[in-house]
Amino acid sequence: MEMERDILNHAEIEREKFLSQQGTTPEKVIAQKRYQTAEKIVELTVKREKEIYRTLTDRIDQVVCHRFLGPIILLGVIYLFYELSIVQGYKITAYTWPILAAFRDFIASILPSPGFVFDPLLRTISLGVVDGIAAVLNYIPIFIILFALIAIMEDSGYMARVAFLLDRVFRYYGLHGQSALPMILSGVFVGGCAIPGVMACRTIKDERAKLATILICPLMNCLAKIPLYILLVGMFFSAYKGIIMFFISTITIIIALSVAKILSLTLLRKTETAPFVLEMPVYHLPTVQGVLRRCLERTWLFVKKIITIVMVVVLIVYLLMTFPGIGKDRKFYYENQTNHQIQAFFNKIGKDNPYAKILEGSKLTEFAIYRDDYKKAKMGAKSKEAKRSVDEKFSERNGEFFKIVKRGKYKIDGKTVKDNYALKVNKEYKKLNRERNRIKRDIKEETIIGSVMGRIGRSLEPVTRYAGFNWRINIGLISAFAAKENSVATLGSIYQSPPGEEKKALGDRMKEKEKDWTPLHALAIILFMTMYPPCIPTLLMVRLESGSTKWALFATFYPIVLGSMIAVLVFAGGNLLGLSGMQAMIAFYVLALIVTVALGLIKNKEMSEEYI
């Protein structure tokens, strides 16, 4: 054992000496010598009757791997990649979402019935978990297309060419050409997803480049960030939408390359590396069976490892955004408001109305459920036959309720009947239902503000105000931790239209509430969101692919620190220099570009220079 340790120590010393003298790794030199020796042996032993002719693969590579034409072709492939997967795949979700909605309705039907204002806890928690799972499952059509296209690129041999082309740039930042695909999947352009991006890192052999890629993939522009971008751009940069979206798309890549270089020079400097040895495979025509098999395998892996965990995650997030909930006195207050509105409803329809007794007590809640179910069924019925079937079904379910939802116009024995009493109830219930929804929104808003997340949002305000964030924005950003789509949904709940006033778009409501906001506020929020930490499913995938909880925690906190620094720099610095939103954007873009180029000029200890 002692002799073995001495031999290994001596080998490591000699390796470091060779590295310092030659400026390259022994593995790389050995690989080069192997190919050179093999070439000499072939020249000495093989006699060729004909000159070597250029194969079809060689001819294609003359164009595909050309120094200038290659990148142009790559951009075209990337555009096609996104058009088929993100754009067309997202259209397919319009067909899959009704299936998920039907599953949600089935679960709702076997849970305790909802209350008029307060729903049973079991129902709320269960539907919250189902909604969280459905939100993830809804992206499966996109993932299926993504994984199929990846399999086609891999089987055809083009993926190796992508790595070859991009390695010329990536190697200056501690990455590999193989880092390209994960970054593309994660959202090099606006509209990717970090989950398949992180999953794609498993093919990278260089441990340093693999970890660096895993840690920067979440910085890309995933599809879930888009709603907040659109909201803020529409509020403050409506005249410059194209410029702002280009800025968002490219600034993330610029910052990600800088982060990768800093990581490779610091935390990852002692991580094991491997030379980028790339053997170009010949082009093949992918088989349908092979593409489908690999596509389904990757999709099932995603479903199996993510969906089961999402159930627990959604439950935890729900608890954080709900508990401790409103107090007994506030609950009593809302119950009184509800009872007052119900009493006003009955007073308006009149005691002599025959439907008044039908809706007394718990029957009013039953009618509310019946009416909501009827509206959903009607929306789902496209043809006249389907609508007629819905009417027949609900007429059998409760004939008296049916007369009300039909606004007093129904048929008996083939004759049309106009029931003014039912029409009166229908009109007055619409008013009651508006007040009911207002009360439910008020309860939800108060619950969020008083929840654990709400309190955290308020406690962070003394710090986040330097970035232009108030407690309302803090809550919206915190809620996005589980799923970034939550940010806009939460803001919509916080910035509600006052009762009785005309309902306006969220952007207009936010402008009215935040009258002192400027484009600098919006720019700071946008830049913080670009650096936002990965959602919980992505963090779990980071844990699985890196094999370390340490890296998952690092991936959680470093984007928060980085995003906060950038937001403060833009907001506070922009105000200090008197810059407008567009001026601050241009100034930050130039600064980030200079920093990235400067970091790229710092030479790594080991840098891929040869392609074998």
Does the pTM surpass 0.85? The reply is no
DSSP codes, 496-522: PPPTTSPP--HHHHHHHH-TT--HHHH
110: exposed, middle or buried (C-beta count within 10 Å: 0-12, 13-18, 19+)?
exposed
Q: Tell me the per-residue pLDDT of 413-447, one tens digit each, with 9 for 90 and over.
A: 778 888 999 999 999 999 999 999 889 888 877 88
* Average pLDDT of every residue of the chain: 83
pLDDT at 176 over 50: yes
Q: Does residue 70 register a pLDDT over 90?
A: no
Q: Which two tokens stand for residue 335?
A: 């119950």
Per-residue model confidence (pLDDT) at position 278? 66
Q: How far apart are CA 251 and CA 221, in angstroms?
A: 10
Whether the per-residue pLDDT at 380 is higher than 90: the answer is: no
Q: Please report the pLDDT score of residue 609 as a whole number.
A: 43
> 74-78, 265-269, 281-285: lowest mean pLDDT where?
74-78
pLDDT for position 610: 43
Tokens of 421: 């009493």
Residue recorded with tokens 């239209």: 497
Q: What is the separation of C-alpha 461 from the centre of its chain, rounded to a whole number of angstroms? A: 26
pLDDT of residue 275 exceeding 70, the answer is no
Residue 176, φ and ψ in degrees, nearest 5: -115, 165
- Res. 604: pLDDT tops 70: no
Q: What is the pLDDT of residues 488-545, one digit of tens each?
A: 767 776 776 554 455 566 777 788 888 889 999 999 999 999 999 888 778 888 998 8
Distance between start and end Cα atoms, the chain? 37
Q: How far apart are CA 41 and CA 574, in angstroms?
A: 66
pLDDT, residue 2, reads: 66
How many whole angstroms separate alpha carbon 372 and alpha carbon 436? Answer: 13
Distances (CA, A) of 321 to 129, 180, 308, 444, 551: 13, 37, 21, 10, 27
Element (H, E) at 490: helix 486-494
pLDDT score for 612 = 43
pLDDT beyond 70 at 611: no
Tell me which residue of 403, 431, 401 sits closest to 417, measured CA to CA.
403
Rounded to whole angstroms, what are the CA distances from 229 to 212, 218, 484, 527? 26, 16, 11, 10
Instruction: Look up residue 457 and give its amino acid.
Output: G
Q: Which of 253, 208, 306, 204 is nearest to 544 (CA)?
A: 306
Instruction: Quick: pLDDT tens for 90-129.
Output: 678 778 878 887 888 888 889 998 889 888 888 877 887 7
Residue 599 and residue 173 in contact, taking contact as beta carbons nearer than 8 Å = yes
Q: Computed over its alpha carbons, how large is the radius of gyration of the chain?
A: 31
CB neighbour class for 520 (10 Å; exposed up to 12, middle 13-18, buried from 19)? buried
pLDDT at 274: 66
For residue 43, give Cα distances in angstroms to 33, 36, 38, 290, 454: 15, 11, 9, 38, 75
